[in-house]
């Protein structure tokens, strides 16, 4: 976003000014979504989970174990599926300007190594406020709890939660290694960051200013995806060096998790529609 700010202000000769508010200075993740929708904020940089309440069709990107790798994930959102989702955003007052990487989501906990479905039973896990995320962990036998990210460290420290799930880099940068012992590369979801603008405010800009913003977003998306992939690898090494006990998922365990969550697709069809779900499944398989 710092690069985006520089590019926009330079290309517009200062006619457009960008103010960046990191670390949730303007409220919780959900607050930011609401502020963009009502036009108080021009744009937010947010996980899809926090937009799925308002744009339920985004649930197609939360089908568990949908993407085999990040390349597949980006091909899907950059293609037909992304275009279909753009219409769903628009119907709710948003304009998606780009999809960045939050990353494959991994499980940490303070109870035991996670080596099988049985080890997940009853585990009190913090999740993002996405109904498909919640249903997935219920299907795995865990006890999911919705909670804003700002509250998670304290809840883990106090023992109010057993576990949480996030990409490796978020686990490291939020210092969850200080309050969690075990790390498991479940990769149950691939999570995106959406750059979502208020559609009406964006379209009120001069056409040349719209183009400047879109060009700067394209550069920012490319840079962020590149750096996020590198950070994902670096973070797992950092977490191991900081004392977390890493437990890699065996193929048989992953197969069991896939089987346990197969029915989640039906729930997604109810939220997002059969056409969009099928298009997503086809694109991911292709």
Percent composition of the chain: helix, strand, coil (DSSP 3-state, to 5) = 55, 15, 30
- Residue 283 falls inside a structural domain: no
- Residue 14 falls inside a structural domain: yes
Q: What is the pLDDT of residue 129?
A: 86
Say if CB 225 and CB 100 are below 8 A apart: yes
- Residue 277 falls inside a structural domain: no
Owning domain of residue 209: 2-264
pTM, two decimals, is 0.92
How many domains are contained in the chain?
A: 1
CATH code for the domain of 72: 3.40.190.170
pLDDT band for position 16 (cuts 50, 70, 90): very high
* Nearest-angstrom CA–CA distance, 74 and 64: 16
- Residue 84 falls inside a structural domain: yes
Average pLDDT, the chain: 96
pLDDT tens-digit map of 189-198:
999 999 999 9
pLDDT band for position 173 (cuts 50, 70, 90): very high
Q: What is the pLDDT of residue 150?
A: 87
- Residue 204 falls inside a structural domain: yes
- Counted residue by residue, the chain has a size of 286
In this model, does residue 215 exceed pLDDT 90? yes
The single-letter DSSP state of residue 205 is S
C-alpha Rg value of the chain to the nearest Å: 19
Backbone angles phi, psi at 206, to 5 degrees: -60, 150
Q: What is the pLDDT of residue 144?
A: 98
Give 27: exposed, middle or buried? Use CB within 10 Å, 0-12, 13-18, 19+: middle
Higher-pLDDT residue of 49 and 38 is 38
Percent of the chain scoring above 90 in pLDDT: 95
> 141 is written with which tokens?
């036998």
Q: What is the pLDDT of residue 36?
A: 97
pLDDT band for position 29 (cuts 50, 70, 90): confident
Give 75: exposed, middle or buried? Use CB within 10 Å, 0-12, 13-18, 19+: middle
- Residue 269 falls inside a structural domain: no
Relative to beta strand 106-109, strand 163-166 is: antiparallel
pLDDT band for position 21 (cuts 50, 70, 90): very high
Give the residue among 85, 96, 83 at the shortest CA–CA distance from 60: 85
- Residue 281 falls inside a structural domain: no
Q: What is the pLDDT of residue 157?
A: 97
In this model, does residue 202 exceed pLDDT 90? yes
Q: What is the pLDDT of residue 189?
A: 97
Say if CB 132 and CB 63 are below 8 A apart: yes
Q: Distances from the Cα of 132 to the Cαs of 68, 112, 173, 250, in angstroms?
A: 19, 25, 25, 24
- Residue 279 falls inside a structural domain: no
The single-letter DSSP state of residue 146 is E
* Nearest-angstrom CA–CA distance, 277 and 286: 14
């Amino acid at each position: 976003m710092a690069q985006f700010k520089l590019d926009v202000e330079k290309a517009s000769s200062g006619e457009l000014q960008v103010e960046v508010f990191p670390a949730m200075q303007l409220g919780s993740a959900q607050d930011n979504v609401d502020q963009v929708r009502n036009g108080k904020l021009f744009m937010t940089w947010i996980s899809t989970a926090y937009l799925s309440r308002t744009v339920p069709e985004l649930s197609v990107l939360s089908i568990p174990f949908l993407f085999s790798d990040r390349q597949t994930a980006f091909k899907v959102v950059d293609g037909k599926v992304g275009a279909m989702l753009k219409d769903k955003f628009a119907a709710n007052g948003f304009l998606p300007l780009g999809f960045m990487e939050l990353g494959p989501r991994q499980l940490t906990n303070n109870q035991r190594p996670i080596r099988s479905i049985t080890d997940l039973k009853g585990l009190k896990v913090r999740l993002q406020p996405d109904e498909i995320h919640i249903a997935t962990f219920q299907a795995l036998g865990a006890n999911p709890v919705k909670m804003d990210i700002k509250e998670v460290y304290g809840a883990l420290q106090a023992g109010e939660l057993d576990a949480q799930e996030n990409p490796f880099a978020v686990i490291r940068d939020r210092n969850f290694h200080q309050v969690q012992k075990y790390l498991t590369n479940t990769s149950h979801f691939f999570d995106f960051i959406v750059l979502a603008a208020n559609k009406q405010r964006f379209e009120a800009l001069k056409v040349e200013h719209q183009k400047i913003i879109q060009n700067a977003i394209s550069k920012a998306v490319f840079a962020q995806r590149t750096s996020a992939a590198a950070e994902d690898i670096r973070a797992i090494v950092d977490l191991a060096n900081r004392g977390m006990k890493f437990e890699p998922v065996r193929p048989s365990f992953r197969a069991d998790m896939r089987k346990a969550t197969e029915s989640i697709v039906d729930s997604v069809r109810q939220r997002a529609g059969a056409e969009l779900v099928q298009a997503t499944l086809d694109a991911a398989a292709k």
